[in-house]
Structure 1
Amino acid sequence: MYRTLTLLSLIFSLGTTLSAQDIETHAYFQIETNKTAYAFGDNINVRDAPNTTGKVLTQIKAGTTLKILDVAGDKLAQKGIEVPWVKVQFLQNGKSQQGYIWSGLLALDRIARDGFEFLLGLTRIENGVYYQEVRIVKQGALLATKEYKSNAEDGHEFGFEVLGNKGVPNISNVIRVYNYMPACLHWTGFSVFLWDGKTLAYIGFEGGTINVGQSWDEIDFIFPEEKGGKQEEGWVVKKVIKGQEDEIGNSVETITTTIWTWDGKQLVHKKEE
């Protein structure tokens, strides 16, 4: 399918699509005292001082609930992430304990659903690009992890949501992480995952990319429960729009629609539509 439109109408169209998918966003590592946080790293060393030479008092599991008592010590840089140490309080074996951990091992966000804890964390920054990871924990046991390249750069915000199965058979939850990159090459959208209770699969990026004055792309995963979805069959519709501006300022789009099914480990291409 092809259509012609102006660049202005293109930007409006992409903006409308993405704004319809409202999600609460946050800045990275907003550390506040007397606030609740969650451990993202597994078997984190808790020390008696805010540095790597402090004595290890104990270790805590991913998903452990923490209270931030203080931001303490100099910042430590690990894998491109430069953040301070924090003093935390937590329960372990029924006893209240305190100590210091590096705040880069805190979860950016945490959502509890269906007996699982869904954690979002930042694992590294390379050349200004943020690599993030989704982890799933149940009763202190780390069940699944999936790292991915967010493509977002310094200064952006993130969002995190766990949405139920959206009508996909044999799936427990659709998970989406929102990021954006503001620049002449501008993109905004979601990294999308499927969780079936055992397998965590990254299925790709959903959103729009605009290279102003040149080209654009938009990818939508339409789940069975959503408008335009295949609810009776339980199929996932993947809609891809690619566009290029011509020499007189009009923009020509190519729209491709495909149907996908879940095979227990990944989405599998079924047919073109």
Structure 2
Amino acid sequence: MAQEDNGIFKNGEFIKNSDAFLFADNVNIRETPSTKAKVIANLSIATPVKIISKTNDTLTVNGYNTYWYKISFDKNGSKKTGYVWGGFISVFTTTTTNDSGNNVCFLFTITEYSEKIGFTALLKAVVNGKIVSTVSVKPHDTDQNNGIYSYDIDGKIMSNKGLDNVKKIIVISFLYPACGYSNGDVIVFWNGKNLIYGTESPSVSEAGIFNFSSELIFPTNHEGKPNKVIRKEETVNYDDDGNISSNSMKKIEYIWDGKKLVKQDND
């Protein structure tokens, strides 16, 4: 199915001619970009589609405002085209197989927005067209929007990195190419049946003022510890001449108990 690191979602929009998958189930494909337009097809979750073009029409659902897209898809052996709201398309998709040999499709997209909490996103695990697990994710955002998301979103799937009772680790990456805005990764664990939220590794910088970066260290990495995830943070501050005025390092350790990550109290 999908290839990881396909990078189909840039600046809050799908890239033209990208291969994507439907995030929602029973999606109505319309004759024109409107909820009042004629339904020409009804497609299942994880159906592959191709992004032909972005329209100028938008729709707001659960506070999230994004574009309609013209797509192509296969229906009963023939190629068809139609329109679908962008919130029904997965911005990042990857797959694995379960112990029974069935494909597990992981779908991710922005699902809602409110002024109080900002954006919310959802990662789904789908097997044979059925949702078997979901987990909520708080995506990075600019805090300066009206329900319009403007980050790049990408991701990849990794091995268990030495963690017990973990089959795969899904990494979701958020990038905004401007100073002063938070970027970084969120990790989610897949144990073969359920998705489990892990933690994040944020970074942010302001040119000539400061730079904060972090990375996650797993048991199989250098400096790794058995059944622990370590977040290694570095903060660098600069003076008015652009020279380093201070540099500090910090490590935060999380214990993986086989079911969840628990932050370790180092005090």
TM-score > 0.5 by shorter chain: yes
> Equivalent of 2:16, from 6, 25, 32?
32
| Structure 2 equivalent of residue 75 of structure 1 | 57
| Structure 1 equivalent of residue 105 of structure 2 | 117
| Structure 2 equivalent of residue 45 of structure 1 | 28
TM-score normalized with structure 2 length: 0.74
Query: What fraction of aligned residue pairs are identical, expressed as a percent?
Result: 21
Deviation at 1:162, TM superposition (A): 0.8
Q: Which amino acid aligns with 1:112?
A: T
Structure 1 residues 47 and 243: CA distance shift in structure 2, 3 A: same
Gaps of 5+ in 1: 1-22
Give the helix-richer structure, 1 or 2.
1
| Structure 2 equivalent of residue 196 of structure 1 | 191
Distance 1:49 1:213 in 2: 49
SS for the counterpart of 2:133 is: strand
Structure 1 residues 183 and 136: CA distance shift in structure 2, 3 A: same
| Structure 2 equivalent of residue 180 of structure 1 | 175
> Equivalent of 1:88, from 66, 72, 78?
72
| Structure 1 equivalent of residue 145 of structure 2 | none
Deviation at 1:214, TM superposition (A): 6.1
Gaps of 5+ in 2: 98-102, 143-148
The CA RMSD over aligned residues, in Å, is 3.4
Structure 1 residues 222 and 86: CA distance shift in structure 2, 3 A: same
Structure 1 residues 246 and 199: CA distance shift in structure 2, 3 A: farther
| Structure 2 equivalent of residue 142 of structure 1 | 131
Deviation at 1:122, TM superposition (A): 2.5
Asked whether the 8 Å contact 1:205–1:219 carries over to 2, the reply is no
Deviation at 1:182, TM superposition (A): 4.3
Number of equivalences: 244
Q: Which has the larger radius of gyration?
A: 1
Structure 1 residues 243 and 203: CA distance shift in structure 2, 3 A: farther
Deviation by residue 1:82-130 (Cα, 9 ceiling, x = unmatched): 31242432346x7876643223311112212222111121224556x65
Distance 2:196 2:204 in 1: 23
Asked whether the 8 Å contact 1:88–1:98 carries over to 2, the reply is yes
SS for the counterpart of 2:14 is: coil
Asked whether the 8 Å contact 1:67–1:90 carries over to 2, the reply is no
